[in-house]
Amino acid sequence: MKIIGCDYHPSFQTIAVYETKTGQTSVQTLLNGNGDAERFYCSLESPAVIGVESCGNTLWLERLVVSLGHELQIGDAAEIRRLAGQKPKTDDRDARHLLQLLRDGRFPAIERPTLEQRDLRQLVLHRHKLVEMRTRVRNGLQHLALNQGLQLGRRLWTRSGQAQFQALVLDPWAARRRRSCIVS
C-alpha cells in the first residue's frame, strides 16, 4: 500500500509517496494539465491513502481518486500549517509534512459534503448571484428614474411605470443605460 502526501496547486502537484512494503519515500512533481497526475493515480494499486490540504479546484482530483478506489483525505489547511511550525514553505517540504501527518495518524481530516450536496450548493449560489445581478440592475434603473424626478417606487416596474420611464428624455449615456438594462 502507498501513502501519499499531496501539495496541490491548480497546475501541478508535488507528492511525497511512502511505500509501506519497502519503507521507501520519494518526492515528485506531477503536472495536472498534461495528464501526468491522472496517469500516476491510475497506475497506483488500490487502495492508496492520499492526503491533501483543503483548497479550491480539486473536484476533478477528488472524483478521479475516489473512482479508482483510493482513500482521499482532505485536511484542515490552518491546522496543517500550525502543525508545520515556522519553517519556510516549499512544495517538497509541504508534501513531506502531509505524508508524515498521515503516517503518524495526526492528519487533521475534515468532513466534506457529498458531491451531490456540493452540486446543489452550487445551484443555490448561482441562483443567489443571479438575484444579486437583477437587484443591482433594478436599483440602477430606479436611481436613474429618481434622478429625473420620476418617483414611483415599486410602481416603476408596472406597465404604466415602465411607459413613463421610457417616455423620459435622458442624456445620451443615461439613455444608453436605460436601453441596455431595461427589464421586460
Domain ranges for the chain: 2-104, 115-181
Q: Which three cell numbers stand for residue 172?
A: 445620451
Asked whether the beta carbons of 150 and 168 are under 8 A apart, the reply is yes
pLDDT of residue 84: 87
Q: Hey, how many other C-beta atoms are within 10 angstroms of the C-beta on 94?
A: 21
- Is the pLDDT confidence value at 51 over 60? yes
Cα separation, 55 vs 43, in Å, equals: 25
Report pLDDT for 97.
95
**Are 34 and 56 a contacting pair, CB within 8 Å?**
no
> Are 52 and 70 a contacting pair, CB within 8 Å?
no
Our CA dihedral for 45, 48, 53, 57, rounded to 10 degrees, sits at 40
* Residues 97-133: tens digit of each pLDDT: 999 999 999 999 999 888 889 899 999 999 999 999 9
* Burial class (CB within 10 angstroms; exposed 0-12, middle 13-18, buried 19+) of 7: buried
pLDDT tens-digit profile of 155-167? Answer: 999 999 999 999 9
Output the pLDDT for position 183: 60
Amino acid letter for position 15: I
| Set of cell numbers at residue 100 | 508524515
The single-letter DSSP state of residue 125 is H
High-pLDDT (> 90) share of the chain, %: 82
Per CATH, the number for 2-104 is: 3.30.420.140
